[in-house]
Chains A and B, each alone.
Chain A
Amino acid sequence: MNKQVELKNHQQEIFNFRLRLFIGIGFVSLLLGTLLARFVYLQVMRHDYYHTLAEKNRISIMPIVPNRGLILDRNGVVLAHNYSGYTLEITPSKVVNLQATIDDLARLVDIAPRDRKRFRKLQAESHDFETLMIRSRLSDDEVARFAAQQYRFPGVEIKARLFREYPYSDKTSHLLGYIGRINEADVDRLEENESAANYRGTDYIGKTGLEQYYEHELHGTTGIEQVEVDSAGRAVRILSRTPPVSGNTLVLSIDAKLQEIAEQAFGEYRGALVAIDPANGEVLAFVSRPGYDPSLFVDGIDADSWKTLNDSPDHPLNNRVLRGQYPSGSTIKPFMALAGLYYNIRSPSQTISDPGFYTLSGSSHHYRDWKKGGHGTVDLFKSIVISCDTYYYGLAVDLGIDNIFDFLTRFGFGKKTGIDLEGETSGLLPSQEWKMKRFRQKWYTGDTVSVGIGQGYSLLTPLQLAAATATLANDGVGYRPHLVREVRNSATLEARRLENKPTSDLKLDAAHLELVKRAMVAVTQPGGTASQASAGAPYTIAGKTGTAQVVGIKQGEKYDASKLDERHRDHAWFMAFAPAEKPRIAVVVLAENGGHGGGTAAPIARKVMDYYLLGKVPPVEPKDLPQAVQAASGVSAASGVPEVEAD
């Protein structure tokens, strides 16, 4: 009986299951039936309509590429613009013998080996049905010659295109960056942020610099044109048109003339310069030397030029302002002095006696001062003026690495400044935690000593030092350095000012600031390390020189620039702000292998400040390399008297 119930249940269950399975079959049939109905609708009832669309008069949706936004300096000087020019373009799929066609074309228009190489590279990256550029910027003559012969070249056409041009070329290359052909990685990124549709028809995208960072402002909105095209692809008539919206104009805080003067002031030196308005963080000049010609990249760079740029020992592609990481050298000393006052480790009147070296208790190692024999009795004021190393060795040890790390972090060392450019590096501000992570070693007091004079593990970028200098100039109120002042809508001409609020207030004691600033002014007065470069200035400069070691000097040896390979010579630093009482400009200069800050870096800063504060344009000098070499060896070119110099 029981068994029968179970059996019955089982049968009932099987019945229920099969019932549901039949419903499932019905459901699937319904789905397939729906599809069938849809196919009949599309392929039979609407066939003529779609056939027309596909075959006879295909409706083609043509994107209308918007004009890229302009980039202007603070005075409206054009730094990047578009100009229309003619290009010669080939659609490989429509050409029978590509090589022969190009050879034929070369008889009509000038086609350099570089153009051929670039074309081959383009071809490898694109589909055959895309039109690819073989020559850009055709002359009117060439256009006329080709037009007369065009019938011989099916699949080859002349197109009018807009080109991006950077009038200041290598002088603004690290600032503006460049645009280049959209590659696969760009496509992925565009798809990721759902803007691929807006780039239909667009060939170029910002690759580096401001062109990259402000791509979303500069690109604009693509327009749409619905055209009827015949089977040969010729447009028969326009059905509807949504006009494109041009990209917005960027107005920079950069002063193009100032930038140019700074560039020239470098002469043959490699290096970096940043000038900032301390009152709002606006970057006035942004120089990384050497630069490169951005137009090489716009059309797609050929392998040879790329190799030349990439392999050059001068590293022209390296953005030194943003990514160059250098030991700060003595430019860290004003900040260390502030830290000593802030933590009450040193009082203004406290003095040390400097024998020319520093030793840790219980060690015989000599941490040497740059001046043999020492500076005698040194207080905080004098320590900045003459850049006394011994003073800062002791100060660093007394502060301890934790306090140094905390205080310097607040000035922005060891972290990105947040400037409106991609790819900034954060430098390195060492801490106990960092050393443990990096070397699995605890921090020794010996490590702290050299941090006091900006050597050892610590590294910073010229931009970081410039931002910190501006914060110091502005009495501890810091701004995020930024390059774009306002974005101007291309259609409404409405200007949108970018936000400009202080990002930090260090709440420093006014008396401490006054003392350190006074000492920095003395640096530029007779007896200071930068007196030569500041002589005769009608405004007061607060500054500090620095020298960053490229190669270490062994215990007991002496640094002698003339014996060293040029690229192993010290880097020269100069940080300054002026007028010291009410600073309007803060400048940081790094001259690679420039030797002493006072001799090479300070004169560059002086020219920049003279122009910005006085409107003085320096006379165009002949290449002043001999003078620079003399300066590097510690002998002033003008007087022949050894100048007071640090480190």
Chain B
Amino acid sequence: MNRRQLWQRFIAHLDFPLLAGMCLLMLASLLTLYSAGEHNFDRVLAQGGNILVAFCCLWVVANLPLHYLMRTAVPIYVLGMLLLIGVALFGEISHGARRWLNIGVATIQPSELMKIGVPLMMAWYFEKHEASLTMKNYVVAALLLLMPVGLIARQPDLGTALLISASGFYVLFLAGLSWRVMGGLFVTAVASAPVMWSMLHDYQRHRIEMLLDPSKDALGKGYHTIQGMIAVGSGGVFGKGYLNGTQTHLDFLPERTTDFIFAVYSEEFGLIGNLILLAMYFFVIARGFVITANASTYFTRLMAGSITLTFATYAFVNMGMVSGILPIVGVPLPLVSYGGTSMLTLLLGFGMLMSIQTHMKLVKS
């Protein structure tokens, strides 16, 4: 096998349009991190490392044939559930929540695993019962979703619980959950909102109140929202220019390499930059939909659709939070925020998309 063949082998299962979109977003990430980190390369290099590691995982997953992927669904889900129960029983408390599990070598946050594990399990379940789907199957799938979500909400980590609910809901939706049931659920949700409100933790209520009136807690949580909005708004149409964001560099912005990185980007690149960023996201999401539409099996369709929609949701929730239309939930901007775990989770998802796309092509040819 010569070098050329080796290269062919290497790229055989990569999807180039998707890869191109991802790379553009990651480039934006590195540029913005340099600015947000006070012209310091440490964060940029560390993020480069995160990307490299995550890309290796992506490559491995992309090269896995689909039936392997399906076979991992049950073990991953069961492992995730066991870890979540472990967290509930022996988890470490940090920042008032029990989210981490110490497994000797490292502390892990099992709810991250479930971001992939839950839709995977649900898609697997629907594939199993594809021939004869009845209402019962939807109920079982919903239970598969609600068990981990309940455990995560109890930690309490409402943000992650809602996001996993969303990714599970997308599977239910794409699997054909009837409109009438969805309508019923919506009405019930609205009706039970006051009950839910009373069940929320103080700090969660606080965050929602802050959204309605950020100035109420100008020194605390409202501070994040106010400063985020000032950064975005003062960016204007053309932005203040790369490395020139005053909000960023006078240290008014909190968490500016992680959850609030969009404020840095938006302040420096303005509305034009935002349009470009939205276009990049739209491109990645659109490619995800194309892969979904072409997917050959029920399992892969559901999985690809859920991954794509979840990705879109993450992007929306983060940018919505920074620009002050959603409450502050700890959601990073996908592919852009600094952080190894979220990068890994996202690229695993994209690895699956690529596997779905390229292995299907092989089946066809």
* Residues in chain A within 8 A of chain B (CB atoms): 16-18, 20-21, 24-25, 27-28, 31-32, 34-36, 38-40, 42-44, 46-47, 49-51, 53-55, 61, 63, 127, 129, 188, 191-194, 196-198, 200, 222, 224, 226
Report whether B289 and A25 are in contact in the complex, using a CB–CB cutoff of 8 Å: yes
Report whether A35 and B319 are in contact in the complex, using a CB–CB cutoff of 8 Å: yes
The 8 A CB mask of B240-282 against A (1 = contact, 0 = none) is 0000001100110000000000000010001100110010011
B237 to chain A: which residues have CB within 8 Å? Answer: 43-44, 47
**Closest residue to A47 on the B side, CB-wise?**
B236
Report whether A191 and B173 are in contact in the complex, using a CB–CB cutoff of 8 Å: no
If the complex has contacts A32-B282, A35-B323, A191-B95, are A24 and B309 also in contact, measured as CB distance less than 8 A? yes
**Closest residue to A130 on the B side, CB-wise?**
B251
**Closest residue to A129 on the B side, CB-wise?**
B251
Report whether B246 and A55 are in contact in the complex, using a CB–CB cutoff of 8 Å: yes
How many B residues have CB within 8 A of the partner chain?
Answer: 54
Q: Which of B164-208 contact A (CB under 8 A)?
A: 170, 173-174, 176, 202-203, 206
One of B151-159, B226-234, B347-355 at the interface: B226-234
**Closest residue to B221 on the A side, CB-wise?**
A197
If the complex has contacts A28-B285, A32-B316, are A63 and B219 also in contact, measured as CB distance less than 8 A? yes
A17 to chain B: which residues have CB within 8 Å? Answer: 174, 176, 301
Report whether A47 and B170 are in contact in the complex, using a CB–CB cutoff of 8 Å: no
A50 to chain B: which residues have CB within 8 Å? Answer: 229-230, 232-234
CA distance A197 to B203 in the complex (A): 13
Report whether A20 and B174 are in contact in the complex, using a CB–CB cutoff of 8 Å: yes
Q: Is B104 an interface residue (CB 8 A)?
A: no
A43 to chain B: which residues have CB within 8 Å? Answer: 232-233, 235-237, 266, 270-271, 274
A-B contact count (CB 8 A): 129
B96 to chain A: which residues have CB within 8 Å? Answer: 192-194
10 A–B contact pairs at CB < 8 A? A24-B173, A24-B308, A31-B312, A35-B323, A43-B270, A47-B236, A54-B233, A54-B246, A127-B251, A197-B221
Report B178 CB to chain A, min CB distance, Å: 11
Best-surrounded residue of B229, B286, B324 (most CB of chain A within 10 A): B229
**Closest residue to A128 on the B side, CB-wise?**
B38
Q: Among A24, A38, A53, point to the contact of B234 (Cβ < 8 A).
A: A53
Report A476 CB to chain B, min CB distance, Å: 39
Report whether B235 and A24 are in contact in the complex, using a CB–CB cutoff of 8 Å: no
**Closest residue to B319 on the A side, CB-wise?**
A35
Q: Among B232, B246, B282, B316, point to the contact of A42 (Cβ < 8 A).
A: B232
B316 to chain A: which residues have CB within 8 Å? Answer: 31-32, 34-35
B203 to chain A: which residues have CB within 8 Å? Answer: 194
If the complex has contacts A54-B247, A55-B246, are A36 and B94 also in contact, measured as CB distance less than 8 A? no
**Closest residue to B233 on the A side, CB-wise?**
A50
If the complex has contacts A39-B271, A43-B232, A192-B94, are A20 and B320 also in contact, measured as CB distance less than 8 A? no
Report whether A38 and B289 are in contact in the complex, using a CB–CB cutoff of 8 Å: no
Report whether B176 and A28 are in contact in the complex, using a CB–CB cutoff of 8 Å: no
CA distance A494 to B270 in the complex (A): 55
**Closest residue to B304 on the A side, CB-wise?**
A21
Report B261 CB to chain A, min CB distance, Å: 15
**Closest residue to B313 on the A side, CB-wise?**
A31
Additional A-B contacts beyond A43-B274, A49-B233 (16; CB < 8 A):
A16-B176, A18-B293, A25-B289, A31-B316, A35-B278, A35-B319, A36-B274, A36-B278, A40-B271, A43-B233, A43-B270, A50-B233, A61-B219, A192-B94, A194-B96, A197-B217
Please provide the 5 A-B residue pairs with the shortest distance between their CB atoms, ordered closest to farther. Answer: A50-B233, A197-B220, A54-B234, A42-B233, A31-B316
Report whether A20 and B94 are in contact in the complex, using a CB–CB cutoff of 8 Å: no
**Closest residue to B217 on the A side, CB-wise?**
A197
B219 to chain A: which residues have CB within 8 Å? Answer: 61, 63, 197-198, 200, 222, 224
Report whether A51 and B218 are in contact in the complex, using a CB–CB cutoff of 8 Å: no
Report whether A54 and B231 are in contact in the complex, using a CB–CB cutoff of 8 Å: yes
**Closest residue to B309 on the A side, CB-wise?**
A24
Q: Is B305 an interface residue (CB 8 A)?
A: yes
Report whether B271 and A44 are in contact in the complex, using a CB–CB cutoff of 8 Å: yes
Report whether A32 and B247 are in contact in the complex, using a CB–CB cutoff of 8 Å: no
CA distance A47 to B234 in the complex (A): 6
A192 to chain B: which residues have CB within 8 Å? Answer: 94-96
B319 to chain A: which residues have CB within 8 Å? Answer: 35
Q: Is B34 an interface residue (CB 8 A)?
A: no
A197 to chain B: which residues have CB within 8 Å? Answer: 217, 219-221, 223
Report whether A21 and B174 are in contact in the complex, using a CB–CB cutoff of 8 Å: yes
**Closest residue to B274 on the A side, CB-wise?**
A39
CA distance A53 to B230 in the complex (A): 7
A63 to chain B: which residues have CB within 8 Å? Answer: 219
Q: Is B325 an interface residue (CB 8 A)?
A: yes
CA distance A35 to B247 in the complex (A): 21
B229 to chain A: which residues have CB within 8 Å? Answer: 42, 50
A39 to chain B: which residues have CB within 8 Å? Answer: 232, 266, 271, 274, 323
CA distance A46 to B247 in the complex (A): 17
Report whether B278 and A51 are in contact in the complex, using a CB–CB cutoff of 8 Å: no
Q: Which of B51-107 contact A (CB under 8 A)?
A: 94-96
Report A225 CB to chain B, min CB distance, Å: 11
